[in-house]
């Protein structure tokens, strides 16, 4: 891919048209389980952006020549090496009191499939500059959804925004639960689809370009590929099964069990051994 691509072009596709949360459907676990307030959503967004950008840049700079079956676990190791010190610093060196949910789901960002998808699909096939653009666009797009979801859930569920009371006449406690977040994400995804169809019709469902399979040798950034297709391509290969040639035993011939007689003398001797004399006539036989 050419290095002359601007950040605006990468941003429009990575953050809007193919938003990682609403379109590619990755990173749903943290946003559903932990982004119940604006503050939590902002922290998740910051950690996600840092981890995604650093991991993608390292992958583009150092992991291109490493086999794919080794690279994918390395993405998780690099992400954990970034997030764990950040979590330790927040817990010990700041005044922020993280809830149990944040302590669980912040480290889980390290194993988020969003990082593996962008590292394997784009970073290891392009320059460090373009990998930085792509990671920043995906991080901003995901963070935007995180913050919107956190603010709406806090407003409707607790009648506060950023900890400041708004005093709504009615609250919906279900918005603080996972099913409320999923409903909100459904409306946001529908709205984004309608926006893309209106503003970018060539990239909408009616004008979607042909999807090319992502291969190791391919230099195309096929963001249209779904997460399931990508991971199927990660771990499966088309191998032709060779069936061994098993010799089939021949059925025993019935002729082998039957005695064969070539001359009349042999037949006479057999009958005489049985007490039958064909020369005797009448009642003596």
Q: Give the per-residue pLDDT at 39.
A: 86
> Would you tell me how many other CB atoms lie within 10 Å of the CB of residue 238?
4
Contact (Cβ atoms closer than 8 angstroms) between residue 13 and residue 137: yes
Long-range contacts of 90-96 (CB under 8 A, 24+ apart): 90/43, 96/43
Give the C-alpha separation, 171 to 154, whole Å.
10
* Secondary structure (3-state) at 160: strand
* Predicted pLDDT at 170: 84
What six digits make up the tokens of 111? Answer: 């194993």
Q: For residues 121 and 65, give the distance between their C-alpha atoms in angstroms, rounded to a whole number.
A: 15
pLDDT at position 146 is: 92
The single residue listed with the structure tokens 């009371």 is 165
Predicted structure pTM score: 0.67
List of long-range contacts for 160-165, beta carbons under 8 Å, 24+ apart = 160/37, 161/38, 162/38, 162/39, 163/37, 163/39
Backbone angles phi, psi at 164, to 5 degrees: -95, 130
> pLDDT tens, position by position, for the chain (285 residues)?
556 777 888 889 889 999 999 998 887 887 887 788 888 888 888 888 999 999 999 999 999 989 988 998 899 899 888 888 888 887 777 766 676 667 777 777 777 788 888 898 889 999 999 999 999 999 999 999 999 999 999 999 888 888 888 888 888 888 888 888 999 999 999 999 999 999 988 876 544 444 344 444 444 434 444 444 443 443 343 334 444 455 555 555 545 455 555 566 777 777 777 766 666 554 444
Find, among 17, 18, 48, the residue nearest to 30 by Cα: 48
**Closest to 32 in 3D by CA, of 201, 175, 239, 206:** 175
Neighbouring residues of 2: CB distance < 8 A, sequence distance ≥ 6: none
CA separation, residue 9 to residues 116, 130, 248 (Å): 22, 11, 64
């Amino acid at each position: 891919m050419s290095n002359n691509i601007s950040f605006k072009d990468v941003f429009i596709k990575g953050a809007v048209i193919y938003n990682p949360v609403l379109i590619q459907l990755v990173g749903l676990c943290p946003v559903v389980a932990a982004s119940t307030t604006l503050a939590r959503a902002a922290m998740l967004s910051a950690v996600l952006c840092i981890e995604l950008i650093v991991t993608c840049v390292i992958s583009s700079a150092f992991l291109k020549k490493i086999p794919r079956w080794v690279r994918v676990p390395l993405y998780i190791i690099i992400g954990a090496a970034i997030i764990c010190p950040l979590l330790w610093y927040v817990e010990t060196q700041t005044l922020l009191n993280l809830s149990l949910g944040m302590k669980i789901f912040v480290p889980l960002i390290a194993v988020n499939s969003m990082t593996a998808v962008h590292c394997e699909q784009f970073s290891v096939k392009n320059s460090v500059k373009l990998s930085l653009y792509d990671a920043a666009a995906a991080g901003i797009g995901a963070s935007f959804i995180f913050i919107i979801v956190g603010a709406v859930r806090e407003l409707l569920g607790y009648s506060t925004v950023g900890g400041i009371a708004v005093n709504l006449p009615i609250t919906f406690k279900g918005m603080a639960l996972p099913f409320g977040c999923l409903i909100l994400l459904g409306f946001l995804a529908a709205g984004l689809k309608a926006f893309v169809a209106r503003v970018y019709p060539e990239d909408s469902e009616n004008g979607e370009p042909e999807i090319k399979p992502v291969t190791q040798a391919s230099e195309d950034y096929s963001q249209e590929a779904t997460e399931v297709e990508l991971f199927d391509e990660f771990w499966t290969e088309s191998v032709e099964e060779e069936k061994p040639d098993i010799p089939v035993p021949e059925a025993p011939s019935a002729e082998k069990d039957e005695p064969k007689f070539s001359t009349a003398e042999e037949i006479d001797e057999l009958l005489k051994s049985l007490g039958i004399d064909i020369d005797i006539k009448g009642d003596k036989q």
